[in-house]
C-alpha cells in the first residue's frame, strides 16, 4: 500500500499543486490529509495563491482516495465545500498490521494516547517534519506543504512497503526515512 501524508495546506492552491505533481509520479493508493485544509488561520499570513474554494475543488476530484482529520483551522463551513469527511478530530487505521493513530496534533499528543507497541502516531499542526522512534512507537509529522517552520522546506510524508519517508514538495527528494521494523523486545 502507498499512502501520501499531507498536512497544513491552509488553502494554498500552488502548494497543493506542487505536492500533487510529486504524487503523480509516486501514484499513492490513498491520501491522508492531516488537517488545516482550507483556512489560512488567524496567526498565519494569507499565502500567495490563497484559493480555498479551488483547493476544495481539487481535493474533491480525489475524494474516493482521501482520508482526513480536522485541524484547528478547519470548520463545518469548510466541510460544506468538501465531498469527503474532514471533521473527525482523529481516526485510527490498520496499515500493514500496524495501528496508526491519525490526528492534526492540536488536541492529542503522542505521549497522551495509549497505543500498543509498533504503532504510529501521525499528526501535522507544528509545520515541522518529524520521523522518530520513541518507546517502541513511531511519531510521524510530514511538516507543512504551505508554511514550513524552523528552516525546513515544504514537505509531505510517504509510506510504502514498511518504509516511511519525509519528502520535499519541490522535487520529491527524501530527507528523512525510516524502516518500520521493530524488534520483539
Q: Domains in the chain, ordered, with CATH?
A: 2-179 (3.60.21.10)
**pTM assigned to the model:** 0.95
Q: Quickly tell me which residue has 526515512 as its cell.
A: 177
Q: Quickly tell me which residue has 515541522 as its cell.
A: 128
H-helix or E-strand spanning residue 95: strand 90-95
Judge contact between 108 and 134, C-beta under 8 A: no
Which pLDDT tens digit goes with each residue over 120-174?
999 999 999 999 998 889 999 999 999 999 999 999 999 999 999 999 999 999 9
Q: What is the pLDDT of residue 135?
A: 80
Amino acid at each position: 500500500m502507498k499512502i501520501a501524508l499531507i498536512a497544513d495546506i491552509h488553502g494554498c492552491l500552488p502548494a497543493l499543486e506542487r505536492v500533487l505533481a510529486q504524487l503523480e509520479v509516486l501514484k499513492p493508493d490513498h491520501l491522508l490529509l492531516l488537517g488545516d485544509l482550507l483556512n489560512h488561520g488567524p496567526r498565519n499570513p494569507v499565502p500567495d495563491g490563497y484559493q480555498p474554494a479551488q483547493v476544495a475543488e481539487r481535493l474533491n476530484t480525489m475524494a474516493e482516495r482521501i482520508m482526513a482529520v480536522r485541524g484547528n483551522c478547519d470548520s463545518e463551513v469548510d466541510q460544506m465545500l468538501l465531498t469527503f469527511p474532514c471533521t473527525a478530530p482523529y481516526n485510527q487505521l490498520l496499515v500493514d498490521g500496524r495501528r496508526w493513530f491519525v490526528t492534526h496534533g492540536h488536541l492529542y499528543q503522542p505521549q497522551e494516547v495509549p497505543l500498543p507497541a509498533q504503532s504510529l502516531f501521525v499528526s501535522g499542526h507544528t509545520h515541522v517534519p518529524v520521523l522518530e522512534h520513541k518507546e517502541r512507537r513511531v511519531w510521524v509529522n510530514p511538516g507543512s506543504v504551505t508554511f514550513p517552520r524552523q528552516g525546513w522546506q515544504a514537505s509531505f510524508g510517504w509510506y510504502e512497503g514498511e518504509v516511511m519517508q519525509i519528502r520535499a514538495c519541490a522535487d520529491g527528494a527524501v530527507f528523512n526515512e525510516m524502516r518500520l521494523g521493530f524488534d520483539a523486545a
